[in-house]
Amino acid sequence: MTASTTLALSTTNLRKSYGRQVALAGLDLEVPSGVVYGFLGPNGAGKTTTMRLLTGLIRPDSGSISVLGQSFDESKHTILYDVGALIESPSLYPHLSARDNLIVFGATGRRVGRARVEELLDLVGLRDRAGDRVSHYSMGMRQRLGIAVALLNDPKLLLLDEPANGLDPSGIVGLRDTLKALAGSGKTVFISSHILPEVQQLADIVGIVAAGRLVTQGPLSELLTSQALVRVKVQPEETAQALAVLSKLAGDGHVEISDTEAAWLTLRIVADRAAAVNRALAEVSIYASGLEAGSDLESLFLELTAPPEPPPTPTRPGAIPGWNSGVVS
């Protein structure tokens, strides 16, 4: 971020441990105002711990937090009057209706009027069931009500932990439109999510956290460009020649044979250069039988959050291949 960028949220060297388990090992976040920020990371990376710290639910071991331009700690709880949050699953009174939940929660923090409650019931599509007990709601309806609770005080900064959880496709589209509209009106939306395509559609800026540290942060478009890939399929006997040609085009180390048997080569270059790849191969009479261009957040995520190669160890009986053990999230 540039020095002139107004930050809605920032953390400096934020650290938090639970006993000997390190959840955050020096997190430095910078979230500009008026953007949708996607906060990504695998299970146990420290996303939920970060959300809890940002809302004063837990205290950091060290480091600092700035919220809406003010240094934040638990004693300055009124800063949160301008923050809305949905952390983990929605926390609601099951015996109350949606309307009563909003009224009761509206009595905490900054006072919220009845008109706002009714407005939010419409916004999240719960008007028709507003009088029903929440215990009779589906998971998606609870999620929508949880989002309404987060929006109660018309926050300048919205912190959402997995907001699309349990939502049906129309609910997800509605959420996306709402969040985009909020960001469009100058509010800042900070989303922690595992649903990468959803984040890719929503986020302006992405931060990826792994093992309690930020591994990358920046405008999504720039990150995706840096991660762009072109994949090309040739005849197996032409693989070596194609590799040489494409290495000249993309640079050494930017081309690899990703599937020897099927003769797929992968180039780490901007996706819109796929035509150049095809042309370079054609000039040496190699005609691609397959060509894929693109870049996606999932590839970036997987690459950046991949754990270091562990030394080979015998497989533990009953272990599920490919699953890391979950730790503190």
Partner 1 sequence: MRLAIAGIRKYWTRSATILSLVLAVGFVALEFVLAGVGYRSASGGTTIDKATATWLLTFPDAFDAILAIAFEFVAIIGLIYVATASGSEWTWGTLKVAVARGHSRWGYTLSTFGSLAIIVLVGLALGVLAGVVGVAMGASIAGFPMGNPLDLSALPQFFVKFARAGIGIVALTSVGYAAAMVAKNQMAGIGTVIVYFIFSIVAPALLPQIVRDILRYQPFSTAADAIGLSGPPTTVAATSTTALDPNVALAITVAWLVGLLAVAAISVQRAEVTG
**Which chain residues interact with partner 1 by CB under 8 A?**
52, 55-59, 77-81, 83-85, 87-89, 91-96, 100, 103-111, 149, 152-153
The CA distance from 326 to 322, in Å, is 12
Residue placing its CB nearer to partner 1 in the complex, 79 or 245 = 79
Shortest distance, position 151 Cβ to partner 1, whole Å:
11
Residues 6 or more apart whose Cβ sits within 8 Å of residue 145:
90, 92, 98, 101, 102, 124, 126, 134, 137
The CA distance from 115 to 128, in Å, is 16
C-beta neighbour count of 31 within 10 angstroms: 26
Shortest distance, position 90 Cβ to partner 1, whole Å:
8
Residue placing its CB nearer to partner 1 in the complex, 32 or 84 = 84
Residue placing its CB nearer to partner 1 in the complex, 15 or 268 = 15
Residue placing its CB nearer to partner 1 in the complex, 77 or 279 = 77
Q: How many CA atoms lie within 13 A of 299 on its CB side?
A: 14
- Outline where DSSP puts E strands in the chain: 7-18, 21-32, 36-40, 62-67, 70-72, 83-86, 157-161, 188-192, 205-210, 213-219, 229-233, 255-259, 264-267, 290-294
C-beta neighbour count of 260 within 10 angstroms: 10
Residue placing its CB nearer to partner 1 in the complex, 88 or 296 = 88
Shortest distance, position 111 Cβ to partner 1, whole Å:
7
Torsion of CA 307, 309, 312, 314, to 10 degrees: 20
Residue placing its CB nearer to partner 1 in the complex, 58 or 291 = 58
The CA distance from 50 to 213, in Å, is 11
The CA distance from 209 to 217, in Å, is 9
Shortest distance, position 60 Cβ to partner 1, whole Å:
11
Shortest distance, position 264 Cβ to partner 1, whole Å:
46
State the burial class of residue 176 (Cβ atoms within 10 Å of its Cβ: 0-12, 13-18, 19+). Answer: middle
Shortest distance, position 214 Cβ to partner 1, whole Å:
22
Tokens 């639970």 belong to 18
The CA distance from 135 to 117, in Å, is 19
Shortest distance, position 162 Cβ to partner 1, whole Å:
15
Shortest distance, position 109 Cβ to partner 1, whole Å:
3
Shortest distance, position 87 Cβ to partner 1, whole Å:
6
Residue among 69, 53, 20 nearest 209 (CA): 53
Residue among 183, 171, 291 nearest 229 (CA): 291
Residue placing its CB nearer to partner 1 in the complex, 11 or 295 = 11
Residue placing its CB nearer to partner 1 in the complex, 81 or 264 = 81
Residue placing its CB nearer to partner 1 in the complex, 74 or 222 = 74
The CA distance from 188 to 36, in Å, is 6
